[in-house]
Amino acid sequence: MLSRLLKAKIHRCVVTQAELHYEGSCAIDGVLLDLAGIREYEEIHMWNVTNGKRFTTYAIRGEENSGIISVNGGAALQADVGDLMIIATFGDFTEAEADVHKPRLVYANPDNTVNHTANCIPVQVA
């Protein structure tokens, strides 16, 4: 049996462009993509922290060190420039893989540079 787990997350990046008439997808700074282990054309879940909207699209590589997070096509109606986003991917893992899996977590600064990385989320306290 497979378990679907968080594979990667880019936390609190900021939308820099919203291009309605682009073909579709989300362009993500190549440095963020590589650190998170997100592949170009991989399905991504995008959660808009600013307005609460959630949608799915796919990742395309943006220019390295540009800070670009460009929400394109119809997804551009779900986010405005300046919105805070969480971008996540999920993967299917066998029970043995799931037992040792650690997600790749990238935490962004407001300019979409890397603040820090981690492979676990701290325990939430009451």
List the catalytic residues. Answer: 25, 58
- 3-state class (DSSP) for residue 76: helix
Q: How far apart are alpha carbons 6 and 104 in whole angstroms?
A: 9
74 is in an annotated binding site: yes
- Residue 105's alpha-carbon distances to 9, 36, 73, 114, in angstroms, are 5, 6, 26, 11
Tokens, residue 84: 């805070």
67 is in an annotated binding site: no
Residue position matching structure tokens 């579709």: 24
The residues facing 9 across adjacent strands are: 88, 105
In single-letter form, the type of residue at position 8 comes to A
117 is in an annotated binding site: no
Provide the annotated binding site: 57, 73-75
**Binding region for substrate:** 57, 73-75
